[in-house]
Structure 1
């Protein structure tokens, strides 16, 4: 009955049941359809939380990029990002700690915090999760592109530019991880 494109939903089922109900003559049958509609409404749509998440596709990459942008845009316009980047550029231990923070926060949000049931699916080299690479890659590429386009980094000094991008990636990796897993795809 339903003419919707794609996979049917509970809403499609309810619409179909309501259409059937209008043509029923028996009161008992109409009550049965009412009960079926009530059950379908209780089922509703699947929850955002509690889904099992597998794989990493274009939709996930898009969600990670949008999440990165949401937390990254303030970093692009804030001068403190460049100051912190210049600071860690001259301190190798601070650079290593920042890299560990970016990776650790991303792993923690996606796999440890138990916000969603995220499964590792077909890891690169049998070890590196595709989702982790995708979220970190989206954050890195977005930070590099935006900071370059907006003139926030000077590529005449590449080490300082990379350090400043790394500082912007701290919140961007958080946004990317949350943007990817919260919609539950």
Structure 2
């Protein structure tokens, strides 16, 4: 299934200086997986894609393994902790959390910004290509687990270390959410950075 000039997107001429890259190979393999007739052939194409993914090296941002396992959880927890400790001990976190707790729009913007950063980090390492890493074939395990780990750690540390007063639950939740948002960014970086 050779790509022809007519198959290339507009503005992407084929030249000697513009050879196909690894993304082109993945696109071709995905097309092939849709065209093959038998489940065995489809499985073989998917295994080839997995092998190609594992063989990729020299990524500037990082890499992902084929499944989100206990090692990934550990990396995410370490990243979350490293990013979160300054937030937990810093008084400014409490002030920011108290402020956004009384401004729902700012709270929503903060959470959306954090979620966008986490998604962007994972998207940079093409998390959506790992089909074995999907819950019910719909959503990535990483995209669900990383924010949950960070939220649990953020709320847990802020509470256990007496940084929040749950007598004022709205303010305490705002303070914990600020911390958890930063921790989620750290968790996603901890998962994807090569080590």
The interval holding the TM-score normalised by the smaller chain is 0.5 to 0.7
CA distances 1:59-83 after superposition (whole Å, capped 9, x unpaired): 1111101000001000000011111
Q: Match for residue 37 of structure 1?
A: none
What is the CA distance between 1:92 and its match in structure 2? 0.9
Contact 2:98 2:174 in 1 (8 A): yes
What is the CA distance between 1:155 and its match in structure 2? 1.4
* 1:129-148 map, 5 Å: 129-148=140-159
What is the CA distance between 1:143 and its match in structure 2? 0.7
Structure 2: distance between partners of 1:125 and 1:160:
36
RMSD (CA atoms): 2.2
Q: Match for residue 63 of structure 1?
A: 75
2:170 matched to 1:159?
yes
* 1:82-161 map, 5 Å: 82-111=94-123, 114=124, 116-118=125-127, 119-120=129-130, 121-161=132-172
4+ aligned runs moved over 4 Å, structure 1: 45-48
Structure 1: runs of 5 or more not aligned: 1-44
Contact 1:53 1:117 in 2 (8 A): no
After TM superposition, the score normalised by the length of structure 1 is 0.67
2:186 matched to 1:175?
yes
After TM superposition, the score normalised by the length of structure 2 is 0.64
Structure 2: distance between partners of 1:57 and 1:101:
27
Contact 2:68 2:133 in 1 (8 A): no
What is the CA distance between 1:171 and its match in structure 2? 2.1
Structure 2: distance between partners of 1:65 and 1:166:
16
Structure 2: runs of 5 or more not aligned: 1-54
Question: Does 48-57 or 79-88 show the bigger shift?
Answer: 48-57
CA distances 1:135-177 after superposition (whole Å, capped 9, x unpaired): 1111111111111111111112222111111111232111100
Distance 1:143 1:90, change over 3 A: same
What is the CA distance between 1:125 and its match in structure 2? 4.3
Larger radius of gyration: 1
